[in-house]
Amino acid sequence: MTGLDASFLYLETPEQMMVINGLVHLDVTTVEEGYSFERLRSGLARRVKAVPPFRRKVHDSPWNPGHPAWVEDFDFDITHHLRRIELGPAGTEDELLETCGRLASTPLDRAHPLWQIWILERGDPHAPTVSAFCRVHHSVIDGMLGAELLSALAATDATTPDQDPALARTHVGRANTLQLIAGGARDVLGRPLALLRLLPETLSVPAAMRRARGRAGHGESMPAPFTAPRTLFNHSLTPHRAVATVSLDLASVKLVTARLGGTVNDVLLTVVGGAVRSYLEAHGDSPTSSMVAIVPMSTRDDLATGGANQVSAMFASLATDVADPVERYERISAAAETTKRQAASIRPALLDNWARMGPRRLLDMGMRAYEALRLADVHPVIYNLIVSNVPGPRHALYFLGARITHMHPFGPLLHGAGLSVTSLSTDGRLDLGVISCEHLVPDPDAVARGITAALDELLELTAS
């Protein structure tokens, strides 16, 4: 296991679950032989055999000085991972989202492979409306890999895809504690030399970012961490989560970029900023300075660590101190090139290299102390919220014969930032998932509605 993958295990606490969730709506009328939960479970059991990451579990030892390892779960049981909840004939969308919030509030069992799928049925029992709430630990996937694994489980038509026998035969073997300890010891012995290489490069990062800012020539510099204003959702988390969903027409989003320039990501940051600004104004908590989002960036094309997580991040201003949506968009778009250049000036593997160096026991105990002392309420705010945009498949997908109509992703929350918005582009739309700490933002649906309203306003103002 790489240091970056393992760090998501160390960061996890009872109130900070490092799980990526997703709500997938299914049209089961496309299933040729008809839908049944039992048939779906049998089909998934066959498909998972060709997805090695879903058959592996964490192996560790108190004597291991290094990071844990992935081992094959030869006692894999699909009934532990695929479960059903029947919401009944009167089940509503609100009940569905409330159920998803409760499921997102529970940790995954590390004694098994770190994923689950909950099938949620509502309406007519003989022809139910079916959704799947998928949960995968962040140590297993990042956003890009999650989309790839979903594609591996799905197909481009309603037929059952052929199983790849080579993937089905791929496994990493049984747990070997002596081998684990020896590998951990080798890793620790190599850290001093690695530290000598990392320190000069890390100390040179500020100068590299200044040079990148100079080459960009215009636009605001990337916001610095610990400079974000404190808002009502920038406090310590509780274990309880609430979720909401919204879908945006991708053609409408691209219409804004055609009129104003910029990118789809610029539109996303603008409408999320507008929605959060409106939400805080309604609660009398609108900050005078701009809020700051952290935006994950895939390094999958630049980095080959062999780990599941190949990701970096950049800080981005949401320009929430600007009332006019068009002016806010132009400011975000102008800063984007500078911010990307500054983020690109940092070697993609640097974060992963430092994660490998992390003393695991210290990180684990430090995170628990940080949570117990509620330090996120004390130190300056690092960032206000997470905004992530994940490219998905451009065509329709079928999950075990059922057409996927919507896929709404939800990223994990970290102490100090109780709100996250994740977007997945697929089949001509952006499917967004809004997840919050229920005690900080009990009504994420208000933020979701605000996103739609912000896009409508942007379209109206740029129509002339």
Q: Widest CA span of the chain, in angstroms?
A: 70
- 138 in active site: yes
- 37 vs 50: CA distance, rounded Å: 21
Q: What is the pLDDT of residues 148-189, one digit of tens each?
A: 566 666 665 655 555 556 555 566 677 778 888 888 787 777
Domains and CATH numbers, the chain: 3-182 (3.30.559.10), 219-387+413-461 (3.30.559.30)
Structure tokens at 322: 């600007």
| CA angle 452–453–457, rounded 5-degree value | 120
Least confident of 49-53, 111-115, 385-389: 49-53
- Cβ(238)–Cβ(438) below 8 Å: yes
99 in Cβ contact with 82 (< 8 Å): no
SS3 10: helix
User: In this structure, which amino acid lies at residue 228?
Assistant: A
Q: How many CB atoms lie within 10 A of CB 52?
A: 17
The predicted pLDDT at position 159 comes to: 58
Q: Looking at 138, 235, 408, 415, which residue is catalytic?
A: 138
CB distance 150 to 32 below 8 Å: no
Q: Give the model's pLDDT for residue 269.
A: 96
pLDDT in tens, 276-313: 999 999 999 988 899 999 998 766 555 555 566 666 77
CA atoms 87, 92, 98, 103: torsion sign: positive
> What is the model's pTM?
0.90
Which range (35-49, 130-144, 165-179, 323-337) has the least confidence?
165-179
**Contacts (Cβ under 8 Å, ≥6 apart) of 136:** 19, 20, 114, 115, 146, 149
| Per-residue pLDDT, 354 | 65
Distance CA 421, CA 294 (A): 11
